[in-house]
């Protein structure tokens, strides 16, 4: 029987993507937990940045918002949203974490509406916030989401946040900085990246207890599959100890 839950494996997998010395723009919740875990394990020099202005804090515990005073605790700088977005646009932020109500095969995200009529949607969501800015200018965008056919759709109802747009060279041709774009999709079932030429989503690793077919059955479009699909390494005892005791002892995130 597994000794970890869905949220814990997603956070541990995401934390492994953040190398020492990198810069990462995060929000609250699972992305923040992943950054904190990385900082407390293999990336002590990870620079964590919050949209509201906190730069490289030593987080004492899980903040509840991007403007929480804890996001400035022992920080290198207490700046502002303008400073953070300016830093992204100057190409100084390596990673960002995002999510959304829908994602398509090219990594475009929708967090605006469900439905065809913008003025009378079936569901209206909060919108971009800083997501469009982060995904447009940070080098690598990581998405953390549950694997669900309603989320993974052939075409998003609204592009809130640009991925690879229509695939191929369409992103760079739109005027967005070359070299930026979606990097990894981390779900409860596996890990996806994007095929280099077509920019279509492909499965590269399958989580314990699942198969590629499970991922495909919970996806609204045809997934590509890497030639050598890996088996995701489960969380280690040390990763789980730090996550549960130091990162999220009150189970704000891992208790979901």
Q: Which residues are catalytic?
A: 51
Distance separating alpha carbons of residues 15 and 73, to the nearest angstrom:
21
Q: Calculate the alpha carbon distances from 54 to 4, 46, 139, 141, 243 in Å.
A: 31, 14, 20, 20, 22
First-to-last C-alpha distance (Å) of the chain: 19
Structure tokens at 115: 């439905």
Three-class SS of residue 23? Answer: strand
CA 40 to the chain's CA centroid:
19
Q: Do the beta carbons of residue 36 and residue 59 sit within 8 Å?
A: yes
Buried b (16+ CB within 10 A) or exposed e, 61-74: ebbeebebebbbee
């Amino acid at each position: 029987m597994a000794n970890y839950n869905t949220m814990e494996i997603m956070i541990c997998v995401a934390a492994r993507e953040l190398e020492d010395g990198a810069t990462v723009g995060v929000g609250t919740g699972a992305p923040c937990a992943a950054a904190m875990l990385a900082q407390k394990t293999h990336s002590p020099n990870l620079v964590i940045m919050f949209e509201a202005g906190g730069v490289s804090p030593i987080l004492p515990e899980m903040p509840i918002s991007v403007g929480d005073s804890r996001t400035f605790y022992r920080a290198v700088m207490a700046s502002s949203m303008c400073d953070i977005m300016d830093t992204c646009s100057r190409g100084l932020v390596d990673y960002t974490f995002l999510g959304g109500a829908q994602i398509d095969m090219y990594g475009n995200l929708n967090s605006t509406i469900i439905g065809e009529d913008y003025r009378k949607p079936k569901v209206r969501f909060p919108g971009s916030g800083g997501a469009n800015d982060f995904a447009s200018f940070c080098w690598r965008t990581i998405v953390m989401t549950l694997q669900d056919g309603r989320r993974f759709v052939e075409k998003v109802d609204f592009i809130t946040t640009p991925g690879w747009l229509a695939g191929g060279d369409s992103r760079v041709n739109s005027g967005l900085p070359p070299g930026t774009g979606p990097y990894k999709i981390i779900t409860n079932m596996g890990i996806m990246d994007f095929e280099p030429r077509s920019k279509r989503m492909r499965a590269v690793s399958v989580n314990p207890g699942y198969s590629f077919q499970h991922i495909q059955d919970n996806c609204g479009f045809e997934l590509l599959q890497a030639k050598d699909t890996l088996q995701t390494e489960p969380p280690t005892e040390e990763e789980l100890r730090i996550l549960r005791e130091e990162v999220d002892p009150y189970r704000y995130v891992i208790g979901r």
